[in-house]
Structure 1
Amino acid sequence: MAGLLSNLRNTLIVSFILALVIIAGYRMHYGSFDAIFWQAVFRWLHVLAGILWIGLLYYFNFVQIRKMPEIPAELKPAVSKYIAPEALFWFRWAALVTWVMGVILALDRGYLVQAITLGFAETPHSPGHAFIGMGMWLATIMFINVWAFIWPAQKIALGIVEGDAAAKAAAGRKAMLFSRINTLLSVPMLATMTMNQTIFG
């Protein structure tokens, strides 16, 4: 067991196998590969990727950004050369998968246009679509921030892309500010994502 758990890849393989067994159990008891079954699968993937994305966002903001000024200068390269690039890899790809699965889920459930238009594309106006639409727009802004601002700036700040000391400092500040914007948006976004299904179904 220790051999399995000491290797992340093997741990994840077993974890996904167990998840697939559970999904097969749901399929067996539900009895169909219809749209509702696939909505459940898409929701699982959406939540799984979302936990990774937002978890890493919170790691950066609650831990790394706050504690970096306290780390001795000779130890900072350990974070900037090894930890941050790896965390940013999972962060940006989790953001992409979360956003794509969310769009697929909304499309499959038949409310993508209604959500994008905040419920104004239908009569009468739907508050449920307005709320989930707000969440989708907040998540979209966050997704764009990751790929258009945070990751490009972090590449300069971490030295993945060439830049002098001033450019690295400016890029680090830019990445931090956009990361803080995402942290600010994440709490209301999560309110819409978690409450909407319960309140409006």
Structure 2
Amino acid sequence: MTDFTIFWEWLAFAMRWTHVIVGIAWIGSSFYFIALDLGLRKNENLPQGVLGEEWQVHGGGFYHINKYISAPPNLPEHLIWFKWESYTTWLTGFAMLAIVYYAGADLFLIDRTVMDLPVWGGIALSTGSLAVGWVLYDLLCRSPIGKYQTGLMVVLFVILVAMGWGYLQVFSGRAAFLHMGAFTATIMSANVFFIIIPNQKKIVASLKAGEVPDPALGAQSKQRSVHNNYLTLPVLFFMLSGHYPLAYATEFSWIIAGLIFLIGVLIRHFFNTMHSTGHRPYWTWAASLLLFIGIMWLSTAPRVLTGEAPPSATAQLFMEDAHFGAVSSAVQGRCAMCHAAEPFWDGVYQAPKDVRFDNPVQIAEHAREIYIQAGRSHAMPPGNVSLMTPEERELIVVWYQSVTGDSSL
């Protein structure tokens, strides 16, 4: 059993590494072509049918790039298609979802204090939401509202925030944020698979047949490509969010998710504007910083917003070092099945990150981590599998703040 567990861990690592590699390839090519498209310049000497040109220098050489509105007079037989980067990114991402979250549903996907789902139910909700998300997005783009880019983006933003709230009602916080990334990435990859590449193939076929391509095909592909461009940065955040419980495991995580989308759009707007006009709208960075400060505040100030009462007089007693014994008992009872020299939780053969709570000294040494992971957020225990109570989490917060004198992060 131990050998299989080790194999599974290495399989997850290999798939994660592959996912990162192909994801870099997809994002890199996407960003490059958007920048290339926005940086095209016109002049009077361009060949007929050329929309614009661009000169670039790299690797000790110069590149002269022309973009044709439809195609050059003689369409070459060999065309380089940029599609496999997208497909392999989604396939490896879904494989990671299956290996980590489906196979380990009780630990990572399902939080029974949020919703007591059977494993098959959690997996069905996961896969179904990804498919429904693409269908809903595609229908919106094809609807009359799809003709108005700003209105469409506003509606899509509302849907994405609603999905973030919905995921947090059924999954663990970590799984909810991961699914926000998967939900968005599915839309992006499906855009390539169902719209952009098929439309391009139709255009090429029309040109080879001596026909005039339907301009609507190019316009539709362009719209989806722009959407992909603006969604990339939020997806990256959600894919990395598993390392930051203050983002995904606090009370207002769904609002944080919405603000992340806004920050991603603002940053992409900066670079897109710079590539297209040469101007640098630095206000986007200032706005992004303010939104990020808002995220930090949301992650650590739930009582201010919910009207919850401050700690009672009785709770204040836990701020005395003498009550560390109660904290130690809670941590050992709820966390030491994994965080021990010899873990006894099924499938865990080594203490995660080699953090152990075998004795009070080790618990004290990891006070800050316990405070963030189990006090300020609900990241630990994963999926709350050991049923840590709100009172125990409050005790951890009071204990840490009493020792440090810090009421924030």
TM-score by length of 2: 0.35
Matched, 1:153 2:192: no
| 1:53-132 matched pairs, under 5 angstroms | 53-63=26-36, 65-68=37-40, 70=42, 72-73=46-47, 75-76=66-67, 85-86=79-80, 89=81, 91-111=82-102, 113=123, 116=127, 118=167, 120-121=169-170, 125-132=171-178
Matched, 1:138 2:184: yes
Aligned residue number for residue 12 of structure 1: none
How far off its partner does 1:173 sit? 1.8
Q: 1:195 to 1:166 in 2, by over 3 A?
A: same
Q: Please tell me whether Structure 1 or Structure 2 has the larger radius of gyration of its CA atoms.
A: 2
| 1:30-45 matched pairs, under 5 angstroms | 34-45=7-18
Judging by fraction of residues, say which structure has more strand: 2
| 1:159-170 matched pairs, under 5 angstroms | 159=204, 161-162=205-206, 164-165=211-212, 167=214, 169-170=215-216
Q: Distance in 1 between matches of 2:90 and 2:191?
A: 12
Task: Give me the identity figure in percent.
Answer: 27
Of 214, 220, 223, which aligns to 1:177?
223
| 1:14-53 matched pairs, under 5 angstroms | 34-53=7-26
How far off its partner does 1:175 sit? 1.3
Q: 1:141 to 1:76 in 2, by over 3 A?
A: closer
How far off its partner does 1:150 sit? 0.8
In structure 1, runs of 5+ residues without a counterpart are 1-31
How far off its partner does 1:119 sit? 5.1
How far off its partner does 1:194 sit? 2.0
Deviations 1:98-129 (A, max 9, x none): 111111111111347275563544xxx41111
8 Å contact 1:39–1:108 — kept in the other structure? yes
Q: Distance in 2 between matches of 1:190 and 1:100?
A: 16
Residue 70 of structure 1 aligns to a residue whose secondary structure is coil
How far off its partner does 1:68 sit? 4.3
Judging by fraction of residues, say which structure has more helix: 1
8 Å contact 2:101–2:175 — kept in the other structure? no
Residue 206 of structure 2 aligns to a residue whose secondary structure is coil
Q: Distance in 2 between matches of 1:85 and 1:70?
A: 24
The residue type paired with residue 171 of structure 1 is L
Q: 1:76 to 1:95 in 2, by over 3 A?
A: closer
How far off its partner does 1:67 sit? 3.5
How far off its partner does 1:171 sit? 2.0
Q: Distance in 1 between matches of 2:173 and 2:126?
A: 10
In structure 2, runs of 5+ residues without a counterpart are 49-65, 103-108, 110-122, 130-166, 246-378, 383-409
Aligned residue number for residue 188 of structure 1: 234
